[in-house]
Structure 1
Amino acid sequence: MVQQEVEIAATSPQFFGRMFPDMQPFVNTADTITLQRTIDAIRDIGEFTHAMDAKDVLEKGPAALIVDPALNLVNQNNPNQPAGITFLGQFLDHDLTFDTTSQLAVVTDPNTTPNTRNPALDLDSVYGGGPTVNPELYNPADRAKLRIESGGRFEDLPRRADGTAIISDPRNDENLVIAGLQAAFILFHNRVVDRVRSQNPGADATAVFTLARQQVMWHYQWIVLTEFLPLIIGQDRVNAIRNGGRRFFTPAPGQHYMPVEFQGAAYRFGHSQVRPSYRVNLAGNPDGSAFFAMIFDPAGEGQADPVDMRGGRRAPRRFIGWQTFFDFGPQFTDPGATTPAVKPNKRIDTRISSALFRLPLSTISSGDQPIALPVRNMLRGITWNLPSGQNVARAIGAPVLGAANFPEWSRYNVGLEANTPLWFYVLKEAEVMEQGLRLGPVGATIVGEVFIGLMQVAPGGFLLENPGFQPNLPARTPGTFRMIDLLTFAQVDPTSRGQ
């Protein structure tokens, strides 16, 4: 009976689970001396100014960190990906997984740990439980539509008097771009509602909402399958998974779950792509100049209109100029120049933007230290007893990076150069095998199989329910649908704003 309960929990949407359930963890947590030495090594290698810090010259300011090529030699740009892909990836994560109970470096059984998000690409981070369960998310004058407010200049999330966003997942107000994406999806849904009503005169609000949500979900999943995943893992690997089948993420239909190898390691690759600073918009400042800002800056703490990109604040300049984050075409250039307005991601590698080593506590769900993001990621590997990257590579038949690829770990004398934390291994693999332009085989297998698998087995996935689906909303190329089309339909694109 006990064994049966464990198996059910391991394949339940309500709990986390393991993609490689029989694999040994990268550190023996029963050996308290080795465990403590491993924790000490992680805290050292992942600390501010230490081995993983890209050592961005923050004092040069946010604009220079973008436009000065000399400041991008260590923390290199990824010419294949626009800057918005990082935040689309964060938005996807918040739609799939939210662990509110486990603690860093405290060994926890994923099979009994609740996932408070439904591990399906169903936008429950936007819709919550729907108009009946979460009426606070919906327009009281039209229950088919979601609430949206104004930040003065353009749209903003609905907020309480203290500035707290009224949204299903509080993490979607962590920074300006993720808040902007949440607002864009709200407006996207609302405009799809208008379209559904025009096509179904006389339909009641419930029917309109249901039809609109399905359209929104399937166009969103289409973007994941045809735009996001090809950029992250490569079109060749997308094709291989779809044509050859999933080998390691194989839940039965309806028994979808979130693997901790994805949640706690492989999918955190996006942290390596975050820039230290961004051009938030092209003309948001009171004098009409561009708003440049660090992703996080300790100087922004307590400010009503922070100098950085932290969320939770409302001010006229705190909106996103999407032409910086996605490529709307060559007609959108830098002010007074011919250089493209769209800016690139950073590469996937073991050099992390310096701003991510000093996170505001408000961006950490538990509100606890440590504030260095790389340390948090690798301690999470201990929480879940994750396997080493090398063992996963062996299991999937991929080339295994040897100890010589991990000289930064050898000085600690605990064997981590041969049994490397999975998150670090995924970054190094991308760096060594793919020049940081996309994930390597371990990272791509975990990320690709989970995303495609969820669309194939989770309720609401178009690959499960309507595999012949083709986008039918307006797009630059009929029969396709990309993020620039979604943002345009939502009317947050640069043309709609006259910017």
Structure 2
Amino acid sequence: MQHGVKNFEVVAPRSRFYQGGFGRMFPDLKPWKPELAAETATALEQHMLDFANAKMTAADNEDTDSTLPAGYTYFGQFVDHDITLDVTPLSDAEVDPNRLHNFRTPRLDLDNVYGLGPDAQPYLYENVAGRIKLRVGSIGNRFRDLARLSRAEGESQTALIGDHRNDENAVVAQVQLAFIMAHNSLADAAFDLGLQGMAGFQAARNTLKWLYQWVVWNDYIARICQAEVHETALRHHPDAVGEAAWEAGYKHVFDWRNTPYMPLEFSVAAYRFGHSLVRDRYQTNVLHGFGSFIPIFAPNGATLMGFRALEADRVVQWDWFLPMTSSSNPFPQMTRKFDPRLAQALTHLPEDPERPGDSAKILNVLAARNLVRGVRMELPAGTAVAKALNVAPISLSDTEPDALWYYVLREAELDGGNCLGKVGSIIVAATFAGLLKGDPLSYFNIEPGWTPAKDTLLKSLQKKLSAANKSALNADAHIVPRPVGQPDWTFAAIIRLAGLPVQADDFAQQ
């Protein structure tokens, strides 16, 4: 959960047609802020800290479970790191939202995996007998890890990856590892079809990027957004010459002149719903033991905190995190509900350098930090956004903030807590639909009728798996809980493509 420590300029003017990193969906709505006796930065922080500590935390239990498998918490975090990077520190007394810069391309293009490519960042890559692959590390002879720089024992072990944030906890690090190893599998498939060097690299990269886009839209967004909103946000239909084409259904919500920007209502509020899904602790694999949990954050002892090499007990057994053919009750573990109560671990983050883990310091309390950032970024009130979208606003008590982030979580809670509510769904689905339609290199534009089943490299790999009597890449697509639309490829396919450990047998001694 680490954030930037440098003060960079970022731009988000109040223009729907601004061409740049950040922008606004609702530029005409006035900013929301709480009514305080003293309008100072200190008073704002204390007000939000008091509310967060009193009302926005709860321990894990069965009542906090949603119907979304826990692996999607960290897939969502990975996706976030692919499309946004705001390094403006919260500790600044004032943040000018009109001077904000997104250090990520607002595209689903896996630049957090590939970085700047083999020529600009050769240390991320290796050429293996004509195959350009991404570097991978190992844990002994049994499991894989991110490639890391060697450090003295006890020091941070820097991962050689396209975005350092994807090593901030052990689960998102293994999502990053999945994409790295999936690329390497596709590079092998390309080589077997006669594509070597950069030709094979580009073929593997394109297939993985398009599979990722497919999974994001058809699996992930279908799970986290209301079905009606998901169906409306991108419509598939024949164009004038009979070819399949895609049309964005919320252009009035997320519009731009030439290329998409990153909406602050999305990045600072609605998409931060993911913080509510994080559990205090997880069961990781059979080696660590059934019923034995590891906390996501802890000041000492076993923890899933990142920036260090994996150990065997922190290796994810994926059928405990995703619905897969080998999953059995009580697995997969589920996310917490979509609601305003965050895990207790997120009130004791080790981020304030003076008093790490102190719940009286705002940097250590994620909910308070999010509320303050929304005010400083001049986001509109949640009820005002609902009215602008012609959605009936929910009722908030006099003590509840009308901050957009809080509103999205409260709305989701009132709708059952298993996905976003109407306002949150529209902001999130409209943004992803816009990013996909606005990317001239996405499959939605290059080859609108593309599906994983039609892809040359994926078909080649499926044929080999079938010949070896092994599970197909998309073997898990029918396992419940399934997203609306029931796609025949899900995030689990990327795990299988990567060859990461899925079930108990994968942890048996070799």
The TM-score with structure 2 as length reference comes to 0.81
Aligned equivalent of 2:346, options 332, 346, 356: 356
Matched, 1:377 2:364: no
Equivalent residue number for residue 277 of structure 2: 273
In structure 1, stretches of 5+ residues that fail to align are 57-64, 66-70, 301-306, 334-338, 410-415
Whole-angstrom distance in 1 between the partners of 2:312 and 2:166 = 19
Change over 3 Å in CA distance of 1:440–1:104 after alignment to 2? farther
In structure 2, stretches of 5+ residues that fail to align are 1-11, 152-156, 236-248, 463-473, 479-486
Q: Per-residue CA shift, 1:24-64, capped at 9, x if unaligned?
A: 110289996276544332111113xx21111x2xxxxxxxx
The alpha carbon displacement at 1:318 in A equals 2.7
Aligned equivalent of 1:127, options 82, 106, 114: 114
The alpha carbon displacement at 1:197 in A equals 1.7
Counterpart amino acid of residue 147 in structure 1: R
Does the 8 A contact of 2:97 with 2:378 survive in 1? no
Aligned equivalent of 1:392, options 359, 375, 385: 385
Cα RMSD (Å): 2.9
Whole-angstrom distance in 2 between the partners of 1:159 and 1:127 = 16
After TM superposition, list the pairs within 5 Å mapping 1:67-146 onto structure 2: 71-73=61-63, 76-78=64-66, 80-104=67-91, 106-141=93-128, 144-146=132-134
Whole-angstrom distance in 1 between the partners of 2:113 and 2:48 = 35
Whole-angstrom distance in 2 between the partners of 1:299 and 1:10 = 49
Matched, 1:492 2:500: yes
Does the 8 A contact of 1:12 with 1:257 survive in 2? yes
Equivalent residue number for residue 310 of structure 1: 305
Whole-angstrom distance in 2 between the partners of 1:23 and 1:106 = 24
Q: Per-residue CA shift, 1:138-178, capped at 9, x if unaligned?
A: 12546621011102341101111131111121110111100
Aligned equivalent of 1:406, options 386, 393, 397: 397
Does the 8 A contact of 2:14 with 2:23 survive in 1? no
Whole-angstrom distance in 1 between the partners of 2:107 and 2:95 = 23
Does the 8 A contact of 2:13 with 2:24 survive in 1? no
Q: Report the 3-state secondary structure (helix = DSSP H, G, I; strand = E; otherwise coil) of the residue aligned with 1:359.
A: coil
Equivalent residue number for residue 193 of structure 1: 187
Q: Report the 3-state secondary structure (helix = DSSP H, G, I; strand = E; otherwise coil) of the residue aligned with 1:168.
A: coil
Whole-angstrom distance in 1 between the partners of 2:35 and 2:339 = 27
Counterpart amino acid of residue 51 in structure 2: I
Equivalent residue number for residue 469 of structure 1: 450
Q: Per-residue CA shift, 1:268-289, capped at 9, x if unaligned?
A: 0011111111012221x4xx77
Equivalent residue number for residue 167 of structure 1: 161
Equivalent residue number for residue 324 of structure 2: 328
Does the 8 A contact of 1:223 with 1:483 survive in 2? yes
Aligned length: 444
Whole-angstrom distance in 2 between the partners of 1:136 and 1:130 = 10
Whole-angstrom distance in 1 between the partners of 2:378 and 2:94 = 7
Whole-angstrom distance in 2 between the partners of 1:268 and 1:439 = 11
Equivalent residue number for residue 247 of structure 1: 252
Matched, 1:459 2:460: no
Whole-angstrom distance in 2 between the partners of 1:212 and 1:440 = 37
The alpha carbon displacement at 1:204 in A equals 3.7
Whole-angstrom distance in 1 between the partners of 2:306 and 2:214 = 28
Q: Report the 3-state secondary structure (helix = DSSP H, G, I; strand = E; otherwise coil) of the residue aligned with 1:251.
A: coil
Whole-angstrom distance in 1 between the partners of 2:286 and 2:269 = 35
Equivalent residue number for residue 480 of structure 1: 488
Equivalent residue number for residue 234 of structure 1: 226
The alpha carbon displacement at 1:196 in A equals 1.5
The alpha carbon displacement at 1:407 in A equals 4.9
Counterpart amino acid of residue 210 in structure 1: Q
Matched, 1:342 2:308: no
Whole-angstrom distance in 2 between the partners of 1:256 and 1:112 = 18
Equivalent residue number for residue 412 of structure 1: none
Equivalent residue number for residue 304 of structure 1: none
Does the 8 A contact of 2:352 with 2:364 survive in 1? no
Whole-angstrom distance in 2 between the partners of 1:279 and 1:205 = 41
The alpha carbon displacement at 1:105 in A equals 6.8
Counterpart amino acid of residue 497 in structure 1: D
The TM-score with structure 1 as length reference comes to 0.82
Does the 8 A contact of 1:324 with 1:341 survive in 2? yes
